[in-house]
Structure 1
Amino acid sequence: MTTTLPDTATDLFAHALRYENRADPYPYYTRMLRQPVTCMDDGTWLVSGHREISQLLHDPRISADRLNPDAPKPAARSLLVLDPPRHDQLRRLVTQEFIPRIMGMRDHLDTLVARLLDAHRSDRPGQWDVVADLAYPLPVTVICELLGVPREDEAVFGSLARRLTRGLDPIDTQTEDELRELQQAREELVQYLEGLIARRRAAPGDDLLSGLMFGTDPAGGMGPVDLRVTLGLLLIAGHETTVNLIANGTLALLRHPDALARLRTDPDLATPLVEEVLRYDPPVQMSGRSTLADIDIAGTTIPRGARVRLMLAAGNRDPRRFPDPDRFVPDRPDNTHLGFGGGLHYCIGATLARAEAQIALTALARRLESPRLLADPPPYRENAILRGPEQLPVSFERLGPGERTA
């Protein structure tokens, strides 16, 4: 039976967001690429082409702020929705504290991955959940260590993260109950973060939170509102996207046994392979922007004050940029994907996320013998924007002893 896909941008976007299409939204993205820049019925502009998305990500006339450019802005604003100069000031403070702390972490990441796999080591056939047992606990442990968050608090912020990330999806995909739940989760997060900040202010450490609070930047440390908002962003974004990257990468390997076999014997393949996962099945599917001026692009004009939806996952499958874009090529050359966005808002944690995924996938390839998906497609999370499996149950003949992967 052949499924007929809709033709209009509005219908394509709506279908791509539906949960029943979460396991494979890519046919809708492919159809979007027939018209890489188009306006939907509600006035939002849909941009799906790789070249056009790249152009807009580097255009100073486009804003990360989803609100109308003339609308009053609330006091608490995260880096994700700030424009220069305030974005640049806060990003500098975060970068100079964050980057030195992640340099030289590969040995530690290797140890963490080995520890997580050792907990399930077996010389007999068995099964486990890649998400619950590796893809989730690895980045959570790392971000807790970096920020100085007690690991025992994971149950608190983990629950809040799952509730809050649903709020990233378009509002018309959420029920009234979900919107009320979102507001409650925001209030709970504020209370949690304020308590965490108060404890660290009383007893500073050598962690990222202390650095942001008492940093040596000539401009001084962050104020209380910026600190709270930035801490919340790093705590949630610092692990949610990496969970999806590792899970999506594992899923790609299990669906492409030749790539899995190559990675098992050639750990250097991990570097280009993770880049291909970021292109082929990115953890962040789309991003919102608004225009500060009229922008001429792809033979049309996006007017000032328009909302824009950058379809990153569609751009990653653009045949004008990538030969045979629907094929997973673990050593694909010239792979300028949009998996970490681009321009001023390029992901701060990209280096860390890459390292976590490279080490985790290499370890899985080496240690899991005869792995097999127990559900294909697996059950997916509700989120459309931060898209990844909720669970990834896998069977194996043996989960062998570890070797160093870094």
Structure 2
Amino acid sequence: MAVTAPPSVFAQILDYANRADPYPLYAELRRTPVVRQSDGSYVVSGYAEIVELLHDPRISSEQHGDAAGGLGTGAGLPPAFLQLDPPEHDRLRRIVTRHYGPPHTPDRVDAMIPDLRRTVSGLVDGLAGSPEVDLVDQVAYPFPVTAICDLLGVPRQDEPRFHPWSEALIAALDPGTGDPAERQRRRVSAMKEMGQYFAGLIGTRRHAPGPDLLSALATDQGPDGHLSDPQLLTTAFLLLNAGHETTVNLIANGMLTLLRHPDVLERLRRESELAIHLVEELLRYEPPVQFLPNRTALDDIEIADTTIPSGSRVTLVLAAGSRDPAHVRDPDRFDPDRFDPDRFGLARDTDQHLGFGGGVHYCFGAPLARLETQIALTELTRRLVNPRLVVDPPPYRTNPVLRGPRHLPVAIDGVLPADG
């Protein structure tokens, strides 16, 4: 009688049964910071090893063979710049960055702050009169969706069309749920529908450009050339989906963490400036992106007494690295002051956690995600009266890559007015 081998630690992490608390498994995984899986791929979980590979040009982000399942591929479109290697990645990212951040467009994100505050305030107003609310459906999801629509110049009334498209694209990232062929079919179908939608929107913006990012990209004539129409489509898809999916998780994980640490919640209510450092700790402690799958070794790589052979698929487990005790003192403790440079003299925050990845693929939307989360958590803690979890742990999304509560039911005794 054949004996079935027990599932690997990483396979257990992928199992939905462990979605609510994968961190003990991450600690077990780190005992071997680079480990080969039964399918020949390699999982990297130590902080130092992850940082080394994030900056190693021999680790490719381009999609190869069975790993090809990202934006663009399979739908007659090129991959998004996130799925390209230098030099083409760098050229396309420079084109988009010219219209998004410093030095060419330094106020793109900061100029959104008044609207971001108004949006959150209105969503919190809508919670009044209910003894129980769902902070995912009523705040954490609609807020970043509204923000990314405003940034791109997408009509807000079209948002209901995006949700099933986004669900299909995110499901394609899930390595452990459902039939892979069916996930691929749904992803390609969503890509084609999104392509038709955005092609019409881009045509309109070219003839009548506005102040939005999509107009700027559609009419760009910068020193690095311009995005072709297919490249513009996949860039729009990337910004729309990545621009809200991860932030939904960050806000939801943030409120869940605060409700589990009422002393910190009360402190944030009194000290709104704490949000800046608190969000950095959230990115370390409960990151919205748990790992980066589908990297490929372009050459044999020697790391942590292990050889990753050329052609091997590599997964970088960011959430495990950010809690590596070899890098972070007392890593399983939520400390909102951990990233306060005035108290601890820390280096740049990107040297301290992996919440936004690192290297050439460092999260493009980090400035906006930080602002959205700071504003949302501050407003929610300031205005909700006696918030408390209805169920702990809450139900989680099935996807192990983009980990966060699917719903976050919270009981409240009321909502303070915006000027209270």
CA deviations on 1:80-103 (whole Å, 9 max, x unpaired) are 210011100110011111123213
| Secondary structure class of the residue paired with 1:105 | helix
| Secondary structure class of the residue paired with 1:370 | coil
Per the alignment, residue 342 of structure 2 pairs with: none
- The yes-or-no answer on 1:342 pairing with 2:342 is no
Distance 1:148 1:43 in 2: 44
Per the alignment, residue 136 of structure 1 pairs with: 141
- The yes-or-no answer on 1:294 pairing with 2:331 is no
AA aligned to 1:138 is F
1:403 shift after superposition: 4.1
1:318 shift after superposition: 0.8
AA aligned to 1:342 is G
**Pairs within 5 Å for 1:75-94:** 76-94=78-96
1:305 shift after superposition: 1.4
- The yes-or-no answer on 1:309 pairing with 2:330 is no
AA aligned to 1:311 is V
- The yes-or-no answer on 1:354 pairing with 2:370 is yes
AA aligned to 1:372 is R
Identity of paired residues, percent? 53
Structure 1 length as normaliser, TM-score? 0.92
1:233 shift after superposition: 0.3
1:184 shift after superposition: 2.2
Gaps of 5+ in 1: 1-6
Per the alignment, residue 271 of structure 2 pairs with: 266
AA aligned to 1:109 is L
**Which residue of the other structure, out of 175, 178, 191, is the alignment partner of 1:174?**
178
- The yes-or-no answer on 1:332 pairing with 2:333 is no
CA deviations on 1:373-405 (whole Å, 9 max, x unpaired) are 11211111121111111111111112101249x
**Pairs within 5 Å for 1:6-17:** 11-17=8-14
- The yes-or-no answer on 1:390 pairing with 2:387 is no
CA deviations on 1:52-89 (whole Å, 9 max, x unpaired) are 001110111111123169x9x96511122100111001
The answer to whether the Cα contact below 8 Å between 1:369 and 1:400 also exists between their aligned partners in 2 is: yes
1:223 shift after superposition: 0.7
- The yes-or-no answer on 1:320 pairing with 2:317 is no
| Secondary structure class of the residue paired with 1:277 | helix
1:316 shift after superposition: 1.2
Distance 2:63 2:35 in 1: 18
| Secondary structure class of the residue paired with 1:399 | coil
Distance 2:275 2:355 in 1: 16
The answer to whether the Cα contact below 8 Å between 2:94 and 2:224 also exists between their aligned partners in 1 is: no
Gaps of 5+ in 2: 340-345
Structure 2 length as normaliser, TM-score? 0.89
The answer to whether the Cα contact below 8 Å between 1:276 and 1:329 also exists between their aligned partners in 2 is: yes
| Secondary structure class of the residue paired with 2:311 | coil
| Secondary structure class of the residue paired with 1:168 | coil
- The yes-or-no answer on 1:55 pairing with 2:62 is no
1:235 shift after superposition: 0.6
**Which residue of the other structure, out of 27, 32, 35, is the alignment partner of 1:35?**
32
Distance 2:79 2:167 in 1: 20
1:186 shift after superposition: 2.4
**Pairs within 5 Å for 1:242-281:** 242-281=247-286
* 35-44 or 296-305: bigger deviation: 296-305
AA aligned to 2:178 is Q
AA aligned to 2:373 is A
The answer to whether the Cα contact below 8 Å between 1:136 and 1:243 also exists between their aligned partners in 2 is: yes
AA aligned to 1:31 is E
Per the alignment, residue 104 of structure 1 pairs with: 111
